[in-house]
């Protein structure tokens, strides 16, 4: 769990090739803030792998803020409506040569 007011989050092994068969989840929980803002600065993910961001601490289809894959970073920041956000990275089993992703987060 990430609890600082600002920080950096990356895929495993970033900037080197990330592993296959992952289902990683990070919760950002920062008390006494109105929202959390993610800014993806690098993004290089195999088309079958993806990053999801949820508004709150659990995987819930109704709270999905972003689902992204490919070689281009999301064009817009992702902003929660509260002090909690969940970032999930899922990879499948075929080999890859992709470096993954890096995001910074800030709070307000």
The whole-angstrom separation of Cα 40 and Cα 91 is 18
Indicate left, alpha or beta for 35 from its phi (over 0: left) and psi (-120 to 50: alpha). beta
Per residue of the chain (108 residues), what is the pLDDT tens digit?
A: 999 999 999 999 999 999 999 999 999 999 888 999 999 999 999 999 999 999 999 999 999 999 999 999 999 999 999 999 999 999 999 888 999 999 999 999
Q: What is the number of domains present in the chain?
A: 1
Q: Which domain holds residue 17?
A: 7-107
The CATH number of residue 16's host domain is 2.60.120.290
Establish if 1 belongs to a structural domain.
no
């Amino acid at each position: 769990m990430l609890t600082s007011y600002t920080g950096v989050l990356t895929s495993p092994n970033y900037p080197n090739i990330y592993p296959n068969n992952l289902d990683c989840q990070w919760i950002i929980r920062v008390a006494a803030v109105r929202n959390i803002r993610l800014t993806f600065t690098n993004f290089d993910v195999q088309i079958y792998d993806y990053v999801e961001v949820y508004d709150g601490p659990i995987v819930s289809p109704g709270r999905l803020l972003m689902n992204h894959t490919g070689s281009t970073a999301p064009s817009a920041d992702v902003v929660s409506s509260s002090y909690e956000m969940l970032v999930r990275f899922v990879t499948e089993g075929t080999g890859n040569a992709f470096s993954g992703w890096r995001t910074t987060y800030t709070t307000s």
